[in-house]
Amino acid sequence: MSIELTGIILKGRYCIVDQIGSGGEGRMYLARDLELGIFRAVKELPISNRREAGLLRLLEHPALPKMIDYAEREEFCYIIMEYIRGKSLEDLLKTDRTFSLEEILKITDTVLKVLDYLHSRKPAVFYGDLKPDNLMMTSAGTLYLVDFGSATFEYQQRSHKLECKGTRGFAAPEQYHGVVDQASDFYCLGKTLERLCGRGKWIYILRCPYFGKFIFKCCRPEAGKRWKNAAEASEFLNNIHPLKLRLRSALVPLAAAVLMLAVVVSSGGRMQKTLPELSKVLTVITQEYYGFAYQSGNPVFQARVYAQAEARLQRLLKQYHTPKEEIRILELLAYNGELADHADRAELYYRQLLTYEPEYERGYLEYGRFLCRQARYQESRAVYRQWQNNISEKSAQKEGAYSDEWKKWKKEILPVIGRNTSGS
């Protein structure tokens, strides 16, 4: 169990002053280097995650914090790094900070240079979790990419098959299959740029249509249609020249017209209306399963029902955006995939559901059941163990925390796993 480190001296040199951050897999502390009299950042991780230290030790780039030293203490390891005085871009956005198009292009250029460096290593390094939270900016405007907890070497890209180590809303589709490569980093970059643009995205695109094209190519669902490498993306970026409009009065009406056109086009030529209650829309879709034609067992008709249901549910996923709504739609997509005997597709949706923890506490339970139904008992056991590890110490200490889920695992899944793996 992690303890308060304030006052602790690591390696007889680094005195912990204060905790300055937490989240993900560890905590971040501020420490004073007693020999040099300067501050350092110290990242605390479970010792099982010390691979991050091994990776950082091999990296050296102006936009990456330097790893200074390394220490181990009981069941934790500590990465001592250069201390960066600044704020993450996400923190800046939360203070209503807006970024000009020129600033965003400069940020993009810096990130592409870092990605080019990482992807050109031997073996290549894939960052895997690019987002505004992991981009730090100093008061002088210098940008740093921080937190390599999700980064992997090229040969490790398929080593985490049970989880998506990226962040929901930024992770590429293939990351939900446990795959991370350079195309995934470009997708995360595109989503990061959209976040930096905020509500002014269309105004930026109006000033610079090629910037819109750059984001569009980053965010293509098909990995093969994104940028081939950072050099290609940088070459395109360097040819982007925003329009310099003097009169704001000329830009605002034009932007309003473009936004109005976008609304009309996206709603099929009609003004967009308030969305109906999701449960009513889902009832219309699911009632096909209870009709006589489907229940009669006609495989051709059933296949048509499955295909139509998936298409309609996918459209709903683009329209309804609260976590509760997305979870319900993804559940139905997963069940529909199983009924259609498309296990690979169903698994994709189950893995996406795992990213909704803690709002969706049944995620691991449902995924474990699915793996059992697929006779993948060892993997189901691994999911169970991962679910146990993801329970926070604070939640685990609460009376009755997760008791219902625990009982379901004990009663429904573990006996099945035990019977089918007893000889392995």
pLDDT 10s digits, 289-335: 887 777 777 888 888 889 999 999 999 988 898 888 988 999 999 99
Q: 200 and 53, same structural domain? A: no
List pLDDT tens digits, range 381-394.
877 777 776 655 44
For residues 415 and 421, what is the distance between their CA atoms, to the nearest angstrom?
10
Q: What average pLDDT does range 145-168 have in this prediction?
A: 72
Q: Alpha carbon 418 to chain centroid distance?
A: 33
Does the pLDDT value for residue 1 go beyond 50? no
- Dihedral angle, C-alpha 290, 292, 297, 298, nearest 10 °: -120
For residues 194 and 189, what is the distance between their CA atoms, to the nearest angstrom?
9
For residues 424 and 415, what is the distance between their CA atoms, to the nearest angstrom?
15
**pLDDT category, 261, cuts 50, 70, 90?**
low
Q: 170 and 146, same structural domain? A: yes
> For the domain that residue 294 is a member of, what is the CATH number?
1.25.40
Give the per-residue pLDDT at 31.
Answer: 94
Tell me whether residue 250 is in a domain: no
Q: 319 and 207, same structural domain? A: no
Query: What is the number of alpha carbons within 13 Å of residue 368 lying toward its C-beta?
Result: 27
Q: Which residue has the higher pLDDT, 263 or 284?
A: 284
For residues 206 and 215, what is the distance between their CA atoms, to the nearest angstrom?
13
The residues with which 39 forms a beta bridge, in sequence order, are 32
Q: 317 and 383, same structural domain? A: yes
Q: Which residue has the higher pLDDT, 288 or 338?
A: 338
Tell me whether residue 258 is in a domain: no
Q: What average pLDDT does range 70-78 have in this prediction?
A: 90
Q: Which residue has the higher pLDDT, 132 or 353?
A: 132
Give the per-residue pLDDT at 23.
Answer: 62
Tell me whether residue 333 is in a domain: yes
Does the pLDDT value for residue 18 go beyond 50? yes
Question: Of 40, 63, 83, which residue sits at a domain end?
Answer: 83
**pLDDT category, 418, cuts 50, 70, 90?**
low
Tell me whether residue 253 is in a domain: no
Q: 109 and 160, same structural domain? A: yes
Is residue 196 within 8 Å of 99, Cβ to Cβ? Answer: yes
Q: 170 and 103, same structural domain? A: yes
Structural domain span for residue 103? 87-242
Tell me whether residue 162 is in a domain: yes
Does the pLDDT value for residue 396 go beyond 70? no
For residues 311 and 332, what is the distance between their CA atoms, to the nearest angstrom?
12
Give residues with Cβ within 8 angstroms of 256, minimum separation 6.
none
> Hey, how many other C-beta atoms are within 10 angstroms of the C-beta on 207?
19
Give the per-residue pLDDT at 250.
Answer: 45
Give the per-residue pLDDT at 389.
Answer: 66
**pLDDT category, 156, cuts 50, 70, 90?**
low
Q: 58 and 165, same structural domain? A: no
The kind and range of the H/E element at 373 are helix 363-373
Residue recorded with tokens 């819109």: 212
Q: Which among 357, 105, 119, 344 is positioned nearest to 226, based on CA atoms? A: 119
291 secondary structure, DSSP code: S
Question: Of 220, 242, 264, which residue sits at a domain end?
Answer: 242
> For the domain that residue 49 is a member of, what is the CATH number?
3.30.200.20
**pLDDT category, 15, cuts 50, 70, 90?**
very high
* Number of structural domains found in the chain: 3
List pLDDT tens digits, range 29-46.
999 999 998 999 999 988
Give the per-residue pLDDT at 50.
Answer: 82
Give residues with Cβ within 8 angstroms of 311, minimum separation 6.
none
Q: Tell me the range of 247-251, 355-359, 362-366 where mean pLDDT is highest.
A: 362-366
The residues with which 81 forms a beta bridge, in sequence order, are 41, 67
Q: 236 and 91, same structural domain? A: yes
